[in-house]
Amino acid sequence: MSNIVDPLVAQIADRVRTERERRRWTLAQLAEASGVSQAMISRIERGESSPTAVVLGKLSAAFQLSVSSLLALAEGTQDETGEVAGVRRREDAAEWRDPATGYRRRQIAGPHFPAEIAEIHLPAGARVPYPAAAFAFVRQVVWVLDGHLTFHDGDSVHELEAGDTIELGEPTPRVFANTTDTECRYAVVLTRGTQP
């Protein structure tokens, strides 16, 4: 297998392994909780495979973390002194790319900010589904910045244009889809809710 080129892949590998070990889960237990195969989890933890958005959604759901939290924790977002950085330059921001769809996600807020904010670029024709559990314990708003987003919220479908927002309710399976021939850019803003 080739060496890891993308440092974010290595950081995601470390974060997934750390979250699993923190819970004292075996690979088999995480596989059962997430619905992701042991072989895939092992490849992710070794940095040999970059997880797709769907796999990240399943793993974050098993850990009861949002995808944004999992990626923000992987990024670290601290300066050399260990303090949370106040200014994050665009050129220094880590951007994660879904190897299956080309979906790109950049964390805007650091892991210690009280709200998680991410900017997403959804390519033309891309479709990214997430299980209901990926939305547990969070309050979330999706804000379309450019383009058109077809958002499936359980059985409901919403056609969202630039400037439109949708505040998400109870956890349900959701799909972010771009049915157009141009990229869609949107922001996700979420806060952690209380556990039931």
pLDDT digits (tens, 9 = 90+) for 93-112: 778 888 889 999 888 877 67
Q: Considering the chain, what percentage of its residues have pLDDT values greater than 70?
A: 86
pLDDT digits (tens, 9 = 90+) for 62-71: 888 877 777 7
Q: What top-level class would CATH report for the domain 7-75?
A: mainly alpha
Mean pLDDT of 150-166: 97
Fold for 90-192, please state it: Jelly Rolls (2.60.120)
Q: Two tokens at 82?
A: 């260990």
Q: Considering the chain, what percentage of its residues have pLDDT values greater than 90?
A: 46
Where in the chain is CATH 1.10.260.40? 7-75
Where in the chain is CATH 2.60.120.10? 90-192
